[in-house]
Amino acid sequence: MSIIRGKKIILGVTGGIAAYKSAEIIRLFKTAGANVRVIMTASAKEFIRPLTLQALSGNPVHHQLLDEKAELGMSHIELAKWGDFIIIAPASADFIASMAYGKADTLLGAVLLATNAKVAVCPAMNMSMWLHEATTSNIKKLTDRGVKIIGPDTGIQACGDNGPGRMSPPSEIVNEIIDCLQPHEMAGKKVVITAGPTQEWLDPVRYISNQSSGKMGYAIAQAAAEAGAEVTLISGPVNLVALPTIKLHSVTSAEEMLENACICSQNADIFISTAAVADYAPVKKIAEKIKSTEPEIVISLKKNKDIAKTIANTYPNIFTIGFAAETQDLNKYAKEKLKAKNLNAIIANDVSRNDIGFNSEDNEVVWIDKEDEKSFPKMNKNLLAKKLITLITAKVKTIVN
């Protein structure tokens, strides 16, 4: 928790039954050595008394925008400059809406407009309000602006409904903030990632493709973005949603993926090829549906250009990493691909197993580069992605130094 020591945290409390949990958030931050100031909206004071939060934070609670005494002490501009991090917990549907529109009619709203600090919002509301499209679009506005959204949790609500809308537990909120404050190992790096399968169309209804859910590639994209990188994700057709901070290029064929990869890699530092690119495509796409009357048909296929190899050869300064999907002699074939594709590293992936590789939540891989081999045991793809990003950052640093 040492990262929190000495940090200046502003806790914004808005009106809602979860306001009582703000006391515990303050206690956790104070125990970890943070300096905490509280801003309450008028309706927050209906749920918890300012005196409680003042006693816990050790600082006067701020609540009035137009207050002569406050302007002489700590004005909204000074407050906005004071904080390293502003957390709104609980954040009501109403406050989220006014925040999305940049309203400054409360002290908290004015501070949020005037601050350069990182901002996190912990929504708490009835499940129907949370699921309403107005709230969804307000939340999107905030995430597009870089605001971190923590929660909400799903469960029994104060009104008796059961669903999403409960504020996340205070310990989870504090841990998420600690995570955000960790130094960003990939800050300043531009990372291009390919993910998912490609589809090579034969006629208007049939295509050739590969297995791949895109989970591994999306997990790596998310881990890189959370590590501070500027991430471009070139994705084949998948049922996944990328973080709003990731630049997503949706493609269908290997040819489109190649075209996008070449354009997006112009200023990139790192290229990670997780996509299961179809190796062959029909020589030509038939305009009308092929009739199924023939007992046998012959389809001519042509080899698709190798995207990872093209990027490695066109941009020798980019650190290029491929994945080798193998069903036997994993390390041997992976090493051959590392060399043939002129990559900096390759990640050997056994795709003969059902519990890892294609489609599953977990993966188990071996990192291979010219000097090193490192095994990653079976784990969730999100955790593996974080570990791979840490390793890639270290490898890139060694090359630069």
CB of 245 to ligand PMT, least distance (A): 21
CB of 226 to ligand PMT, least distance (A): 18
Q: Judge whether 49 and 63 are in contact, CB under 8 Å.
A: no
Distance (Å, whole) CA 195 – CA 92? 37
CB of 355 to ligand PMT, least distance (A): 12
Minimum CB distance to ligand PMT smaller for 75 or for 212: 212
CB atoms closer than 10 angstroms to residue 300: 8
* Angle, CA 37 vertex, CA 81 and CA 165 arms, to 5°: 105
Distance (Å, whole) CA 163 – CA 132? 13
- The residue with tokens 């306001």 is 19
The one catalytic residue in 159, 180, 262, 264 is: 159
Minimum CB distance to ligand PMT smaller for 82 or for 333: 333
Judged by the rule CB under 6 A, the positions of this chain that interact with ligand PMT are 194, 212-217, 254, 273-277, 279, 304, 306-308, 322-325, 337, 349, 351, 357-359
Considering Cα of 246, then 251, then 252, then 257, what sign does the dihedral take?
negative
Residue 267 CB contacts under 8 Å (≥ 6 apart), including other chains:
190
Residue 125 CA, distance from chain mean position = 24
CB of 363 to ligand PMT, least distance (A): 6
Minimum CB distance to ligand PMT smaller for 39 or for 311: 311
Catalytic: 159?
Answer: yes
Tell me the residue type at 338.
L
Q: Judge whether 364 and 344 are in contact, CB under 8 Å.
A: no
Structure tokens that stand for 348 in this block: 């050997």
CB of 399 to ligand PMT, least distance (A): 20
Tell me the residue type at 327.
T
Minimum CB distance to ligand PMT smaller for 35 or for 349: 349
Q: Which of 222, 259, 255 is nearest to 240 (CA)?
A: 222
Catalytically annotated residues: 159
